[in-house]
Amino acid sequence: MNPKELKNRLDTRKSGNDDFYLLDVRNPNEQEICTIEGTDLLIPVSELPARIGELDSWKSSGKEIIVYCRSGARSANACGFLKSTGFSKVFNLEGGILLYSDEVDPSLAKY
């Protein structure tokens, strides 16, 4: 999923017409710098295997999960892991929060 698609989905979700989960897999110190408005949960990718149970309700809901990190690499790995554990509707934010900042929200700090 590209940043403009995510922005459109977030706008649609605000009006109640789209429902998905937005998962940040960066580290807490990165989230303190900036975050995409509408993020539902932060689970660092290194902690994802141990914390997968926190997403059980997400799996059973059947909703899409959009995963992001700084540049898209960690979130791509997280997507692969989630798919391997039975999540089917998982999408990676291409370019991560850096590209989102470039294309959608330049107020987000780059680091």
Determine whether 34 is an active site residue. no
**CA 56/CA 74 separation, integer angstroms:** 21
Catalytic residue, from 6, 22, 67, 69: name it: 69
CA 76 → CA 1, 18, 36, 49, 96, distances in Å? 11, 23, 17, 15, 10
Can you list the pairs that 9-17 forms with residues at least 24 positions away whose Cβ atoms lie under 8 Å? Answer: 9/66, 10/36, 10/37, 10/38, 13/38, 14/38
Catalytic residues: 69
